[in-house]
């Protein structure tokens, strides 16, 4: 009762899932971002496409059986995309089965005109994305058209995507064709898919910035999550041979070979800048 009075209780949604409490939203969500509207030397080559793998799922089951109302974090997705768009790249939006993209709309920065603009521009693609199997069937022979794969964060990236064999195929395709792979926060959960069918983990020995389990473990106390996570992503990646570059929810970004990662929503702007600069330098 006291937690409810103080605003620490997660909000119960109509479908039975829980979104963050009033206190959690006050502490962790801003109505504007730190996006820097940088003018880049615009890329004009043929490798102009970036495949963005979004989640289509919104409810993540916690250890206590409660569901967290999640999806992709809009800032973690749209800030990097703003930078990449300004650098001259275009996007193909995809979800595992072609269902519409699930966003954490409670985290949407309502007073940020740049974020609103790109969201509205791409909304039709978010509503009707590609199916990953269709992308594989139509685009694997056209790797010369692609510069990168981007897997945005948000806890929704941990629903089904780590167990999706098509995600694994696309990550290996990007790796084999020297494309960049970009991800942030919980997005690197997608990398677990490369261990399916007893395959060797694709990113063993890589340096990465990933959302720390220590923060996920604390958030139920003020009602961000409705319970403890089903598993710890950063520790799981560490057990597979990843070198973690951050211990806090901060602005850490990291490049290792063709992999670019960021640690949290706070790193979204930095990740976008870094990805845009690295792609332009590699391709120009």
Q: What is the per-residue pLDDT across 167-187, written as a single tens digit (0 to 9) for each?
A: 999 999 999 999 999 999 999
Domain interval for residue 106: 46-283
Residues forming beta bridges with residue 68, ordered by sequence position: 18, 60
- Residues 221-234: pLDDT tens digits? 999 999 999 999 99
Residue 249 burial class via C-beta count within 10 angstroms: exposed 0-12, middle 13-18, buried 19 and up: buried
- Identify whether 3 is part of a domain: no
Q: What is the CATH number of the domain that holds 252?
A: 3.40.50.880
- Identify whether 264 is part of a domain: yes
Q: What is the pLDDT of residue 169?
A: 97
Q: What is the pLDDT of residue 140?
A: 85
Q: Is 254 a catalytic residue?
A: no
Q: Are 166 and 190 in contact (CB under 8 A)?
A: no
Stretches where the chain sits below pLDDT 70 are 1-7
- Identify whether 198 is part of a domain: yes
Residues forming beta bridges with residue 148, ordered by sequence position: 50, 180
Give the span between the Cα atoms of 16 and 192, in whole angstroms: 28
Q: Are 242 and 189 in contact (CB under 8 A)?
A: no
- What does each C-alpha distance from 1 to 4, 18, 239, 269 come to in angstroms? 5, 17, 39, 38
- Identify whether 122 is part of a domain: yes
Give me the catalytic one of 77, 167, 185, 237: 185
- Identify whether 17 is part of a domain: no
- Residues 26-67: pLDDT tens digits? 988 999 999 999 999 888 899 999 999 999 999 999 999 999
Q: Are 275 and 269 in contact (CB under 8 A)?
A: no
- Identify whether 271 is part of a domain: yes
pTM for the model: 0.96
Phi-psi sector, 169: left (phi>0), alpha (psi -120 to 50), beta: alpha
- Identify whether 7 is part of a domain: no
Q: What is the pLDDT of residue 7?
A: 66
**What is the tally of structural domains in the chain?**
1
- Identify whether 79 is part of a domain: yes
Q: What is the pLDDT of residue 36?
A: 97
- Provide φ and ψ at 219, rounded to 5°: -65, -25
* Among the listed residues 246, 180, 258, 177, the one whose alpha carbon sits nearest the alpha carbon of residue 211: 246
Exposed e or buried b for every residue in 92-115, given b needs 16+ CB within 10 A?
bbbbbeeeebbbbebbbbeebebb
- What does each C-alpha distance from 275 to 18, 21, 89, 104, 184 come to in angstroms? 33, 33, 11, 23, 11
Give the span between the Cα atoms of 165 and 162, in whole angstroms: 8
Angle at 259 between CA 268 and CA 267, to 5 degrees: 15
Give the span between the Cα atoms of 183 and 209, in whole angstroms: 9
Angle at 274 between CA 270 and CA 275, to 5 degrees: 115
């Amino acid at each position: 009762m006291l937690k409810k009075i103080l605003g620490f209780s997660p909000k119960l949604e109509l479908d039975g899932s829980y979104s963050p409490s009033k206190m959690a939203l006050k502490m962790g969500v801003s109505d504007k971002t730190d996006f820097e509207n940088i003018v880049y030397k615009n890329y004009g080559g043929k490798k102009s496409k970036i495949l963005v793998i979004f989640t289509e799922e919104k409810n993540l089951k916690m250890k206590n059986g409660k569901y967290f109302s999640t999806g992709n974090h809009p800032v973690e997705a749209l800030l990097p995309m703003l930078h990449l768009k300004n650098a001259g790249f275009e996007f193909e939006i995809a979800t595992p089965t072609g269902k519409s993209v699930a966003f954490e709309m409670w985290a949407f920065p309502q007073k940020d005109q740049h974020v609103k603009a790109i969201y509205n521009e791409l909304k039709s693609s978010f509503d009707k994305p590609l199916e990953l199997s269709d992308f594989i069937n139509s685009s694997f022979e056209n790797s010369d058209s692609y510069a990168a794969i981007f897997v945005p964060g948000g806890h929704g990236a941990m629903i089904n995507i780590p167990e999706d064999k098509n995600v694994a195929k696309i990550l290996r395709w990007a790796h084999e064709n020297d494309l960049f792979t970009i991800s942030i926060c919980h997005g690197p959960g997608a990398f677990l898919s490369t261990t399916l069918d007893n395959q060797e983990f694709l990113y063993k020995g890589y340096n990465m910035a990933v959302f720390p389990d220590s923060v996920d473990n604390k958030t139920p106390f003020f009602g961000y999550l409705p319970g403890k996570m089903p598993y710890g992503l950063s520790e799981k990646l560490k057990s597979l041979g990843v070198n973690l570059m951050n211990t806090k929810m901060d602005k850490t970004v990291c490049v290792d070979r063709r992999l670019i990662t960021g640690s949290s929503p706070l790193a979204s702007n930095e990740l976008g800048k870094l990805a845009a600069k690295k792609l332009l330098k590699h391709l120009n």
